[in-house]
Structure formats: C-alpha cells, structure tokens
Structure 1
Amino acid sequence: MTIFQSFILRLVIQGIYFVILARTFAPEKYGAYVGIVAIVSIFIPFASWGSEKVLIQNVSRNRRLFQEYWGAAILKTLIFGSIFTSIILIIYSFISIPNISIYVVFFIALANLIFLRLNDAVRDSFIAVGLLNYTAKTILLVSLNRFMASLSFIAFFDNPSILTWSILYFLATFASAIISTIILVKQVSYPKFELSKVKQDLLLGFSFAVGISAQNIYNDLDKSMLAKLSTLEATGIYGAAYHVLNVTLTPIQSLMLASFRNFFQKGASGIKGSFELCKKLLPMSLAYSLLAILGIVIFAPLLPKILGSEYGDSALALMWLSPTIFFRTMHGFAADTLTGANYQSVRSVTQVLVAIINGLLNFLLIPTFAWHGAIWATITSEFLLMVFLWGAVYKYSKQSA
C-alpha cells in the first residue's frame, strides 16, 4: 500500500464518520465538538516537542541512530503530553465552552496529545527508515479505528452525547498507538530509552514544535474563536466546510509526507538541493490544486444533501475557502524546502508571525461577521504565508548561489 492509497482510503473513511457525526449532532453540538478539538490541536506539536521531526532529520541521514531517537520521542511525548494535557484542563476550568464538560476535554486531550502523538512517532519512524508502505498502514490505522468507534457510537447508544463520543475517540486512538508500536518493533527494532536523551535537541525540537503549532493555530484558532465569540451553529457550519476542504488536500498532504525525508537528504548539502526537489514536485501539485478548486465550485451545492439542510451555508463557506488549496500547496513546498536545508527556524518564525496576524484578524472580524469573518482571516493568512515563505526561499537560494 502506498501513502497516496492510504490517504485516499482515509479520505473515504473520514468522510463517512464525519457525516455520521455531523448528522448525529446538530450544527450547535457539532460546533462545540469542533471548538474543543481545535483548542487541543493548538498544543499537539508541543506534546511531543517536535521529536518526531527531529527523528526524521537525523535518522534519514544516519539510520543507526533510530533506536535512541525513537526512544527519545516516546519519552518526550509522555512527559510533554502529560504537561500540556494538565495545562489545558486548568485553563478550561476557568474558560469553558457552554454545555461541554471538562471530561470531554480530558479524553480528547489525552487522545490527541499523547496517544495520537505516539502513533505519529511510529508513522515518522517508518518515514525516516524509508518503509513508506508501513507509514501508509499507520496513517490508515487511526482513521479506521475512529470509524469503528463512530459505528459503535450510533449502534449501541440511544442518546449519543459528546462525552460518549470523546471516550470512544480516546479508545480508538489508544488502540492505534498500541498496534502501530507493535508493528514498528517487529519491522525495525525496539526503542532505546535513556532519560538523558530527553534533553537532547530540545532547541531544534522546539523550533519544529513552534512551526507546527503556529500552523495549527492559523488552521484551528478560527474555530475556537467562533465557538467563543460567535455561535456554536456558526462554528458547526464553518467546521463542516473546513473538514471537506481538508479532505480535498489529501493528495497534496500524501505527496508532502512521502517526500519529507527526501527534502532532508537533498538539503544536507544546502538549499540548492532541496529547492531542486521542490521544483520537481510543485508543478503536478499545483495542477491538482486548481482542479480541486474547480471541483469544489461544481460539487459544493451537494453538501447540504449529504449533511442535512441545516448545513446549507456550509456549501457557500466551502466555495469561499477553496482558494486556500492553492495557497497551501504553494507555501507547503516552500516550507519543506527551507526545513530540508536546515532553515527550520526561518520557517517557524514566519509561521508564528502569520499565526499572530490570523489571531488578530479573527478577533476583529468574527464578532461582526461570524463565519464569513473567519473565512476572510483564513484566506488572508494563507496568502501572506505563501508570500513570506517563497520570499525566504528566493533570498536564501540567491545567497547560496
């Protein structure tokens, strides 16, 4: 199985359980759930302190380092994941979303900040050693388990609640982490645990974590702010459209994930090498992004027929969001070009700057324009990130030449 095939299968599976959840919960309840997931997602990169990306960078260049870097990734995830789960629960006890208990936040945080990150460490371990067929299986495993959880949710519970779903969501993610870890041990090796290694590469890991967190902020902050500053119904409408948008990005994400290791290998000699790889991958990806935008414009009106008439505005929201497919494709490859050539700090600073701009725009626009304001903030932020990152690639390429 290739990574692309696994992403396509995941796309189908996620689409089914997304429809199940959206139809089980009215837009208001679904909006509350989206808001909680968005809050937790902001902290996901720090839950592993960027250790899985450090693993790829080092092991892709020297496979003998695998055991110690996987062991360090597991230890860092357990330590930092627990810390940030505690921080989220403390914050939520003071600033909460109406009708969402702290137990919901606990199970979602535990699932995403510890067990999902452990699963991601396995996924990236397979990338680092070049076993992409097992990377594909690891990717699919999480979605498959969550799909089974969604079927159990509607089959065995007469009055399904967000708390019930959060528990099933946690159990599915926990099972994925255990199964994927067993597969990695059988196919590659055991991890090597040394507490002293937890302190290793903290600065580099922080740089990766900051960059990914900033990306999550401008991807998910709008949903959290909609839940707090607007209505849960608006959050549900926008969240449904955003989910479909993410589905259309699946082929691009699969290609970027499969090539991430190559960017480090090509960039070991400088940005010229990683940029050459970028120029090979970008044309095909941009062609797909334009086709995806056209497909959204044509098929978006069908969305209310699938999710229900109460999601009618989601079709309009999806069409407005569609240009971000092109922007994300452009800045995604620029970002990996910089990271592969050891310019991760430049990438991270740029992403943090855009995350701040995104937060300010959401704060200004959402109270007045609800989900329309969130869309304008997203499009502006994605465009600026594209311009800034390609400006950095141009600058450092010229310096290198």
Structure 2
Amino acid sequence: MQPTSSRSKFIAGVAKLLGGNMAVVVVQALQFVLLARVLGVDQFGEIAAANALSAVLIPLSGLGMGNVMLMEVSRDHAAGRLWAGNALALTYLSGVLLVAGGTIAAFYIYKMGVSLWVVAGVLSVELLLSRTVTLAAQYFSALEDFRRSAMATLSVALARLGATAALFSGLVPRTSSVWVLISIVFSAFLAAAYVFKLIRHSGGLSVNIDSIAKRARMGVAFASGIGAKAVYTDADKIMLAHFASAGALGAYASAYRLTTMAFMPVRALLDASAARFFRAGEGGMGGAVALSLKLLRVSVPYGVFVGGSMYLFAPLVPHILGHSFATAPEVLRILCLLPFIQSVHYVLSDALTGAGLQGLRTKIQLLVVVAYIVAGYLAIPAYGWRGAAVVCISAESLLAVMIALAVCWEHRRDQLERDHNR
C-alpha cells in the first residue's frame, strides 16, 4: 500500500503544480501580450535585451546553492533551515555584485542603445527579488509541497502582470523605464513576503560557512550547467541587441517567448519530479533512466503537438501583439522545433543530474556553449535574426544528441558494473 499511496500523492502533487504552472502560462501570456502592445517592438526589444543579460547572469546568483538546497532538503526535510539560509545569503551576496557588474557590462555591450536604468532595474528584479521567490519555490518543491511551490511561481508572474497593467491603464507614462520601476516596487514586497514564509515554515534561517564550503563545488557545477544553458538560450538575444536593431530583437524575442511559454507544462512536470530524480538516482543510473523514460512518454508527444500548433498559427501573432511585430511569424516557424528538441534533452539531462552526474552534464553544456558562441558570431552579424534562429535550433539539437549519448553510455556502464559485482 505504501508505494501506491506515495505514487497517488505524487500524481496529486504534480496535478497541483501543473495547474499552478498553467495559471502561470495564462498570466505570462496576458502580461506578454499587453506589454508588447503597450510598448511596441522597439521598447519591448529594450526590455528583451535587459532580460537576456539577466538570464545569462541568474545562474551565478547564489552560485548554485538553490539547487544544492533542493537536493539536500529533498533527502532530509530537517535540513531546510540550514540550506534555505545558505541559499538566501549567497544569493544576495553574489546578486548585488552581479547587478553592478552586469550594468557596467551592458554599457559596453549595448553601446548606449539600451537604457542603463532599464538594465540595472531588470537585473535587480531578476537576480535579487524574483530570485528570492524562486528559492522559496525550490524549497517547497523539495518538500513536495507543490501547492506552495506553484503559488510562489505564480506570484512572480502576477507581480509582472500588475506592473504591465499599470502601464496599460494609462495612469502612468507608457515607457520601459516606468515599467521597470513599478516592477521593482511589486517585486520587493513579494520578496519580503517569501522571506517571512521561509522563516516561519523552516523555523528560522541559519547560515553555516563550513556547510557552504563543503557543497561549494557541487553548487558551482549546478551553476555552471544552468549558466551554460542560459548562454545557449539567451546569448543570441544579446548578440542581436549588439549587431541588430531593437525592433529586430523585439520580434525575435517575442517569438522565442511564445515557445518558452508553450513549454511551461513540461517544465512544471520536471520541477515536480526534481526531488524524485535525486532519490531515484541515489541507486545509480538505472533508477534515473527508468523515471526519465516515463516522463518522455509525456514530454515528447506534447513537444510535437505544441510545435506543430505554433507553426500553423504563427500568422496570427501580429494580430495579437500589434503590427510592429510583423516579422515574428517567420521567426516562430523556425523556432517551433524547440519544444520537441527540449522535450528530449531536458528530461534526459535531469536523469544525469539525479544520478550524481551533474559534472558530466555541465561539460556537455559547456561544449555546446562554445559551438554556439562561435556559430553565433559568424551567423548573426551577417544574417540577423535568421542566423540567430538557425544557430539556436542547431545548438539545442546538438545538446539533445550529446545528452542522449551520455545517458546511454552511463546507463550501460552502470549495468556492467552491477553485473560484475554480482
């Protein structure tokens, strides 16, 4: 009865998290459409440039300690007080430095084509304030408290929708700078609320330097892997902001954002399964692979269906976002392959992580990053957003193939070792 009860509890939890993430998709879609229509393609491109830079820097905020917290608390719930405190402390220590460094970097990368105030504001929201709420979501996910985890994720989306609604109402100037200012205010209140929730739920927060040092290498491995992923998903936007116009970036970023929102249900499924991957992987690759195969039966058909739907309905995008996004449908018809490709490598990558092979996963991602950056600098200056789209699809495909080969190799090796020890 125990396994059945545990499985039923997990399925119910996943349903809650999926429901919460579908609500996030709806809120994000509404916020995305309203912001695009209010700002237009040029100012939306300015926000996209700042977001792309923040996405590349986010993995460095906390140096992977949020993922260490997820792993430690999923295995020992009593460790929540220590690891939540460690994660928050490192997030704010590193986040402040990253906001300052990122703003200075933007001055040289964007050559004053993007407001430094917008960049600094977006970095503050993403690397500090929203990151705090994300840590809370990871904490509750480690406890398999999917309702609270989903609510934390939804609250971030609602804060951004609130800032966008303020612009849409016409009560404040409709500029990217004003949107950033309102976002900071809303996100600050939200971050404070979730710090209080963490303190109350864990019984207080503590910080231990020795425990941080002990897990520092693992944290850096997590951060490097996530950072590599951020580079091959967002560096194209940074390059476009440097080599092309804000309008071209706005159209490209809007199409990419649609693929990201469409993939949210699979991300929710993987978030719900993160703790289980760590537990399944304690016994080696066999358990992690078995779990990943179950998830692939859901993720792959979904990726094919969503990608096909985006290709068919791509011409509707300018009617929804506004006529300044006229080139977005062509971008979307290239990027519609992403949901299928990502449905494979996200699931298999989590199998490697769950089995304690985060280092291997990170090495593969870093190799893809190198190929991605080289290809991007060759293609994007010459071919603009078309070059960015092709490079994006190629890099994600390369990653999927390499991750799949690594999983097969490690699973085979694990089986041989088990047979030898019998």
Give the TM bin, normalised by the shorter chain: over 0.9
1:335 aligns with 2:349: yes
| 1:234 matched residue in structure 2 | 248
Q: How many pairs does the alignment contain?
A: 401
Q: Which runs of 5+ in 2 are unaligned?
A: 1-14, 416-422
SS at match of 1:331: helix
| Identity value in percent | 26
Pairing partner for 2:48 from 9, 19, 34: 34
Contact 1:126 1:184 in 2 (8 A): no
Q: Which moved more, 1:126-135 or 1:173-182?
A: 173-182
Amino acid paired to 1:312: A
Pairing partner for 1:271 from 277, 285, 291: 285
1:143 aligns with 2:181: no
Alpha-carbon separation, structure 2, partners of 1:112 and 1:200:
27
Amino acid paired to 1:178: A
| 1:105 matched residue in structure 2 | 119
| 1:153 matched residue in structure 2 | 167
Contact 1:145 1:175 in 2 (8 A): no
| 2:410 matched residue in structure 1 | 396
Alpha-carbon separation, structure 2, partners of 1:381 and 1:138:
31
1:291 aligns with 2:305: yes
Pairing partner for 1:350 from 358, 364, 386: 364
Contact 2:84 2:198 in 1 (8 A): no
Amino acid paired to 1:247: M
How many Å apart are 1:176 and its aligned residue? 2.3
Closer, same or farther in 2 for the Cα pair 1:158/1:63, shift >3 Å? closer
Alpha-carbon separation, structure 1, partners of 2:217 and 2:101:
21
Pairing partner for 2:23 from 9, 12, 15: 9
Amino acid paired to 2:87: A
Contact 1:153 1:168 in 2 (8 A): no
Contact 1:76 1:198 in 2 (8 A): no
1:118 aligns with 2:123: no
Contact 2:45 2:250 in 1 (8 A): yes
Alpha-carbon separation, structure 2, partners of 1:275 and 1:36:
37
Matches within 5 A, 1:2-401: 2-401=16-415
Q: Deviations over 1:287-322 (max 9, x none)?
A: 111111121122111111101122121111111101
Alpha-carbon separation, structure 2, partners of 1:76 and 1:366:
35
Contact 2:144 2:272 in 1 (8 A): no
Contact 2:49 2:114 in 1 (8 A): no
Superposition RMSD on alpha carbons, in Å?
1.5
Contact 2:81 2:202 in 1 (8 A): no
SS at match of 1:190: coil
Alpha-carbon separation, structure 2, partners of 1:343 and 1:106:
35
Alpha-carbon separation, structure 2, partners of 1:146 and 1:397:
42
User: TM-score, length-normalised on structure 1?
Assistant: 0.96
Q: Which runs of 5+ in 1 are unaligned?
A: none
Alpha-carbon separation, structure 2, partners of 1:198 and 1:285:
35
How many Å apart are 1:9 and its aligned residue? 0.9
Contact 1:321 1:379 in 2 (8 A): yes
Alpha-carbon separation, structure 1, partners of 2:189 and 2:309:
36
Amino acid paired to 2:61: A
Q: Which moved more, 1:343-352 or 1:93-102?
A: 93-102
Amino acid paired to 2:298: M
Alpha-carbon separation, structure 1, partners of 2:380 and 2:66:
35
Q: Deviations over 1:151-186 (max 9, x none)?
A: 112325453222111111222222222222333344
Amino acid paired to 2:340: F
Q: Which moved more, 1:347-356 or 1:169-178?
A: 169-178
Amino acid paired to 2:181: I
How many Å apart are 1:200 and its aligned residue? 3.6
How many Å apart are 1:89 and its aligned residue? 2.3
Alpha-carbon separation, structure 1, partners of 2:273 and 2:381:
40
Q: Which moved more, 1:252-261 or 1:161-170?
A: 161-170
Q: Which moved more, 1:101-110 or 1:226-235?
A: 101-110
Q: Deviations over 1:208-263 (max 9, x none)?
A: 00110111111111111101011211101101101111111011111011001100
Amino acid paired to 1:306: I
Alpha-carbon separation, structure 1, partners of 2:346 and 2:119:
30
Alpha-carbon separation, structure 1, partners of 2:260 and 2:79:
34
Alpha-carbon separation, structure 1, partners of 2:191 and 2:344:
32
Closer, same or farther in 2 for the Cα pair 1:95/1:318, shift >3 Å? closer
